[in-house]
Amino acid sequence: MAEMGHRFSFIFTLTLLHFLHFCSAKLGVSTPPPLPILPLPSFSQLKWQQREVIMFLHFGPNTFTDSEWGTGRESPTVFNPTALDAAQWAATAAAANISLMILTAKHHDGFCLWPSKYTTHSVSRSPWKNGHGDVVKEFVDAAAPRGIDVGVYLSPWDRHDRRYSHELAYNEYYLAQLQELLNNYGNVREIWFDGAKGKNAPNMSYYFSDWFAMVKELQSSINIFSDAGPDIRWVGDENGFAGTPCWSTINRSSLAIGAEGITQYLNEGDPEGTHWVPPECDVSIRNGWFWHKSESPKSLKTLLEIYYNSVGRNCVLLFNVPPNSTGLIAQEDAHTLTQFKAAIHTIFSSNLAQNCSLRASSQRGGKESAFGPENVLDNDHLWTYWAPRGADAGGDHWIEIRSQQKQGLRFNVVRIQEAIGLGQRIKRHEIYLDGKRIVEESSVGYKRLHRIKSGVVCGEVVRVRITEARAVPLISSLGLHLDPFWDPTGLS
Ligand code: FUL
């Protein structure tokens, strides 16, 4: 009897929903978007995510002393670039479509690239421009006309300053420098708080809460990077490889900046995470972070490998391109970067799914709604998406791309993007070609790229099936691409 009652109320609810849907369609009223699933990205985090590849510039005394970690005892006179030209840095970034550059305003050696009022260990004591130079200013001024945004790195670990190890004095000093950098150089879009610290460094607490609050007070659209956010997290390695899965969410309360044993958690994120803190993959174009005469840039093949494992796994790639001791980005680095950009363009500028027909397991709000499968082929990768019916993550949700041409489809890369503005949802998914499974994987996020392990495949119908999700899946973009650079045998 109770079961009959349940069935009746289920049928009644379903009929009512259909009736309401029919009425609203008749009245020309649109079905609203589904509810988000928390946590959500902030406006600045979304903007950052869409940049995909950004640039790091490690520059300072190390550039001149051929080292990676300066001792702090370097004389400011070693800093003497003969042809520093920040416009060339900006031109190099612009040629690679890069819209954000981050400069090491102060690295672990404590030397400041701007004339800080609070120390003499800076450009003010260097022969460069007779001590009247300001690299941070030249960097910011060169970026603006190119439409490039800027960020700064201010190392908490300072091997030069004598206040370091005197907790209060050093925290005040650091805060004062934050105020200089964030008050005097216009908009700053990202700030890097590096958790690195030598094993024998004095034990001292950093007042992160004060620092972060000050940063947000001075710059409203900035993203704060550290091991644990609050806005962007470290990916847990320096090879530029994110994990699988890779969630934009983590539990911030379970993390301490600079702590040991958290790298896997940072690499993969947490589907149950309480905060939206997406990962950034920092990696250098060369072996070291600073320029060294003896090193040369990585190969295009390695850079593409990094791209697939960072941007292709829901991350932003922070690519370090260090200026040399003349103050310029080396020609071979600039060339490698242009080749990299051209390769990405070759692979992704055309979507082989573009003229295909689309079909899905169901559609939220019915056939006439704004949530149809065709949304995955438009240029909006955030706010237009295919949404299945209902609010339930369960059920067999799929979307299908069917070739309209005799020769069918020929590709070796599949691109999937979630509408992350409403939260990250997909936990597991599969891809089928003509009924045969070719991919079985985990999370998606803003962008997931799959290179097909067997190489180029041909067929008629590609189906993306979402097998597990935190909430009803929302797919904003799908792409089929041909990567001529990728050799799955690894022989080329
Ligand atoms: C590390 C530092 O120790 C390296 O020198 C470099 O700055 C890298 C980006 O972060 O933690």
Determine the atom of ligand 1 nearest the C-alpha atom of 68.
Answer: 5
Cα-to-chain-centroid distance, residue 166:
35
Atom of ligand 1 nearest to the CA of 58: 7
Query: Which residue has its alpha carbon closest to ligand 1 atom 4?
Result: 289
Alpha carbon nearest to ligand 1 atom 7, residue? 289
All residues at 6 or more sequence positions from 311 whose CB lies less than 8 Å from its CB, including other chains:
52, 53, 317, 447, 449
What letter represents residue 39's amino acid? P
Place of tokens 């439409």: 147
Which of 112, 109, 90, 108 has the alpha carbon at shortest distance from 99?
A: 90
User: C-alpha angle 282/235/442, rounded to 5°?
Assistant: 125
Q: Is the pLDDT at 466 greater than 60, yes or no? A: yes
Instruction: Give the Å distance between the CA of 230 and the centre of ligand 1.
Output: 19
**Banded model confidence at residue 28, pLDDT cuts 50, 70, 90:** confident
CA of 420 to the centre of ligand 1 (A): 30
pLDDT score of 398: 98
Determine the pLDDT at residue 154. Answer: 98
Q: Whose CA is nearest to atom 6 of ligand 1?
A: 289
Q: What is the mean pLDDT of the chain?
A: 94
- Alpha-carbon torsion (355, 357, 361, 362), positive or negative: positive
Task: Pick the residue whose CA is nearest to atom 2 on ligand 1.
Answer: 196
For a substitution probing ligand 1, which of 54, 55, 194, 226 has the most ligand atoms within 8 Å of its CB? 194
What per-residue confidence (pLDDT) applies to 1?
46
Q: pLDDT tens for residues 105-161?
A: 999 999 999 999 999 999 999 999 999 999 999 999 999 999 999 999 999 999 999
Q: State the average pLDDT over residues 300-328.
A: 98
What pLDDT was estimated at residue 362?
Answer: 97
Cα of 194 vs centre of ligand 1, distance in Å, is 7
**Among protein residues, the one whose CA lies closest to atom 3 of ligand 1:** 196
Distances (CA, A) of 107 to 43, 50, 147, 206: 29, 28, 26, 16
What domains, with CATH codes, occur in the chain? 43-348 (3.20.20.80), 351-481 (2.60.120.260)
Q: Give the pLDDT mean for 469-481.
A: 98
Residue 376: pLDDT over 50: yes
How large is the average pLDDT for residues 452-465? 97
pLDDT at 10 over 80: no
d(CA 369, CA 30): 7
Say which residue, 423 or 19, is predicted with more confidence.
423
Strands (E), 28-170: 53-57, 100-106, 149-154
CB 377 within 8 A of CB 351: yes
Question: Which has more confidence, 460 or 13?
Answer: 460
Distances from the Cα of 408 to the Cαs of 460, 472, 477, in angstroms? Answer: 5, 31, 20
Q: Please tell me the predicted confidence (pLDDT) of residue 124.
A: 98
Residue 17 pLDDT level (bands cut at 50, 70, 90): low
CB 437 within 8 A of CB 431: yes
CA of 69 to the centre of ligand 1 (A): 8
List, for residues 226-260, the tens digit of each pLDDT value: 999 999 999 999 999 999 999 999 999 888 777 78
Q: Using a 6 Å CB cutoff, which residues line ligand 1?
A: 68, 194, 196, 282, 289
Q: What is the pLDDT of residue 295?
A: 98
Give pLDDT, residue 258.
Answer: 76
Beta strands in 100-208 (DSSP E): 100-106, 149-154, 190-192
Give the mutation target among 104, 235, 282, 289 for probing the ligand 1 site: most ligand atoms within 8 A of CB: 289
Average pLDDT on 316-327 reads 98
pLDDT in tens, 172-226: 999 999 999 999 999 999 999 998 999 999 999 999 999 999 999 999 999 999 9
Residue pair 63/291 in contact by the 8 Å Cβ criterion? yes
Please tell me the predicted confidence (pLDDT) of residue 7.
56
pLDDT at residue 21, as a whole number: 55
Whether the predicted model's global pTM rises above the 0.85 cut: yes
Can you read off the two tokens belonging to residue 124? 């003010």
Question: pLDDT tens across 286-302, in order?
Answer: 999 999 999 999 999 99
Q: In sequence order, what are the residues at sequence separation of 6 or more whose Cβ sits closer than 8 angstroms to the Cβ of residue 474?
A: 34, 385, 386, 387, 418, 419, 422, 425
Given a cut of 60, whether residue 29 has pLDDT beyond it is yes
Q: How many CA atoms within 13 Å lie on the side-chain side of 437?
A: 8
CA torsion through residues 138, 143, 145, 149, sign: negative
Residues above pLDDT 70, as percent of the chain? 94
